[in-house]
Each structure stands twice: as C-alpha cells, then as structure tokens.
Amino acid sequence: MNLSFFIARRMARPTPQHRPGVMERIAVGSVALGVAVMILALAVVIGFKREIARKMEGFAAHVSVTDIRGVETLDAHPVHRSARLEALIRATDGFVDMTPYAAKGGIIRTDEAVGEVVLKGVGGDYDFTLLKEWLVEGEMPRIGDSIRTKDILLSRVMADRLDLGVGDKVEMLFIDDGKGLRRDRFKVAGLYASGMDEMDRTMVVTDLRNVQRLCNWTPDEISGYEIRTRSLDEAETFARTLDRTLLYDEGDGTENLAVESVTERFANIFDWLKAHDVNAAVIIVIMLVVAFFNMTSALLILVLERTRMIGLLKALGMPNGPLRGIFLWRALFVTLRGLFWGNLVGVGLCLLQRTTHLVKLSSEGYLLSEVPISLGWGWWLALNAGFIAAIVALLVIPTAIVSRIKPEETIRYE
C-alpha cells in the first residue's frame, strides 16, 4: 500500500466535519472549463482542416498535371493523352487513381443575372462520390454515355442567383480562341451544395466531350489529369516526385507539363488553415496557465488547512518526499474530477453541434456554412493525458512548502 496515496484518498472523502472548500471547487471548475475549451478548440480546428481539405479534394483531387503554358488560366493549353504519360503517373509511389478533365472559363447568363463560371468536363470514370453526397435536387448529369448530352450540374448558390431550377435551359458564352464569342445552351440536370460558396459560385460540371468541343480539341486533348494519392499528406511529395520524373523523361508527350498539389494550388486556403493551429496552441497554453494558478491556490490552502497533520506526520518520522506526495495525489484527484466534468461538457457540446448543426458560419469568411466538428480517440486521449501530466508536474513546485513546515511549531501552535 502506498502510504501517500492512502492518506490522500482518505483526505479526499468528504465528512460532516470536512467538506470541499470554495477554493477546491474553484480548482475543479477551472480544470473543467479549461478541458472543455481545449476539447472544443481542437475539435473545431481539426474539423475545419479535415472538412475543407475533403471538399477541396472533391473539387481538385490531390494532384493535378497540366500544361505549364496554361497554369492558373481559365483556358488551358491542351495536354495530349498518351500511354507513356499515364504509365509514368501510375508508377509513381503513392498513386491511387487518376481521371482526365477539361476546363473552360465562360459566362453564364439568364434574364435575371450573369455570372462567371468554370465549365469542368469529366468522363464516366470520374469519382462522383462527393458530388452525389452534395446533390440536393435533381439528378447527376449523364456523363460518359454513348450519346453526348448537354446536362450540367449547377450549384444551388449559382442557381438561386440566376433564378434557375432543375430542367431549365441556360446559355453560356465562351471566347473562341480569340475569334469572338461562342454560345452554347445546356440543361440543368441537378443542383449541388458543397457548403463552400467560394467554389460553388463558379464550378459547373458537365460531360468531358462538351468542353473538348468548345475548345476545338480532339478526343485525346484534355486540360490535364486529376490524381488521387493515398492521403492529402502525401500529395506534395507525390507532386515533387512526379514533376522530377516528367522533367527528366525524354519520351514524347511528357514535355512542358507542370505537376501541382492541391495545397500549392490553393495555398491561401491551406495557409489559413495552418494559422488555426497557432490559435489552438495559444488557447491550450492559456487554459493550462489558468488551471495551474487555480490549482496552486487550492493546493496551498489544502496544505495550510492540514498544517497540524503535516507536523504530526513529520514528528512520527515521515520524510518530506512522501508528505509532498500526499498533496500531489490530492491535486491529482481534484484534476480528475475537473477532467470528468470538462470532458462531459466539451464532448457533449461537440456531439450537439455535430448532430444539430446549431452554430452557423458565414461561408464568405470561413469557407463553410456551419462549424465542423471532428472527434477522435487519439487526440482526445493525448489531450487528457497531457493535461494531467502538465498540471501534476507543475504542482511539484508549490508542494515544496511542505518541507518548510516545522513539527515543533505547528504542534505548539495548535
């Protein structure tokens, strides 16, 4: 039996003569508040990063291969599909799948309004998982059929602005290689809502052949490839490796190609997400400092309340180390109580937001229309363990007051 633990446990039991004091309750409350705030901060930050990254992957995959002469332009220089190029992409470590695409910038107009769009053409082998998840009205456009259709998938944000609905026909205008404007009409097959209005305001999805026809391209000419890797974290490494492979390849069809990861292509968005890591770290440090000072105050009061007990134990021969251990155990019990209530409140609020989507956001400022929540066992356990370790380690210093208490003075004083 650990004597320090035994005494601390007996001290923690409330009795009619001794109930938890105000400072002890304040300490429990500060720990609970700090843990709840830290859980909320991490859940929101991780949720933001995962949700925005997931949606960016849905719009642009992990890595794109385009002609270097068409980088960051709406009218890309065509890339010629070749078996060698596709073989080099597949052979790169981390490859999962790829799909060709074609994109062309234009203007969509109705009697009500006009707007800029990026008409993105994809083939039948495109991964429509996220688009189907985002579908809110109508159906997915028929893509890859033997007969080419002019169906388009439009965002609900754009449809509301242009006063369009499922089944309506809409006219789009495109610049035809400097020769003037080219008009084409499309049918709205369905409406989607990703929650990222910045992307929804421009992205329109249709059959790959529609964009190739508008660009006067052959079936083997595309804007590039969208490539998925094993994870977003591997995208930059994959992009650098593939870019170096294509740079030194001497075969036909691999010259003038640029490889770009989604984190490089949308660097402003991902840099903004990284800034949230700093905010979360600041919140955690502040909560730790507040909890430490409150716990220190409570611990000092506990020591002063037990001055006679300390004197008697010293007189009976108990060393300073085990005496300090008594109050460290006592502080740990207080911390655990605070952790219980903090986790109950923090996780409860996270689950409430995740199920009810109660707290909304401005998509113009935050890219998402509601606060995202991501809960995981890994970071949750690490947060609780780290909090306990930090508080107990810091409280070793104030427990040094136990060593300065002299038995003869405390016993005589009592």
pLDDT tens-digit map of 74-99: 666 888 888 889 999 999 999 999 99
Evaluate if pTM is beyond 0.85.
no
Q: Which residue has the higher pLDDT, 396 or 83?
A: 83
Residue 11 is encoded by which pair of tokens? 């001290």
Instruction: State pLDDT tens for residues 207-241.
Output: 999 999 988 899 899 999 999 999 888 999 999 99
When mean pLDDT is compared over 106-110, 289-293, 302-306, 307-311, the highest value belongs to: 106-110
pLDDT by residue (tens digit) across 140-169? 999 888 888 899 999 998 998 888 899 999
Residue position matching structure tokens 């492979």: 245
The 8-class DSSP code of residue 231 comes to -
Complete DSSP assignment for 10-40: HHHS--SS----HHHHHHHHHHHHHHHHHHH
**Rounded to 5 degrees, what are φ and ψ at 257?**
-105, 140
280 CB-contact burial (10 Å; exposed 0-12 / middle 13-18 / buried 19+): middle
- Output the six-digit token pair for 246: 């294509």
Query: Which of 48, 134, 46 shows the shortest CA–CA distance to 371?
Result: 48
Q: Residue 414: which pLDDT band, with cuts at 50, 70 and 90?
A: very low
Residue 413 has pLDDT above 50, yes or no: no
State the pLDDT confidence band at 363, using cuts at 50, 70 and 90.
low
Alpha helices in 83-152 (DSSP H): 83-91, 129-134
Instruction: Please give the pLDDT value at position 70.
Output: 65
Question: What was the pLDDT predicted at 101?
Answer: 92
pLDDT at 207: 93
pLDDT digits (tens, 9 = 90+) for 18-54: 555 666 777 788 888 888 888 888 888 888 888 888 8
Among 65, 47, 59, 61, smallest CA distance to 246 is for: 65
State how far the Cα of 118 lies from the Cα of 104, in Å rounded to an integer.
6
398 or 51, greater pLDDT:
51
All structural domains of the chain with their residue ranges: 3-55+269-413, 96-229
| Whether the Cβ atoms of residue 284 and residue 379 lie closer than 8 Å to each other | no
Rounded Cα–Cα distance for residues 264 and 274 (Å): 13
pLDDT, tens only, 311-344: 777 777 777 777 777 777 877 888 888 889 999 9
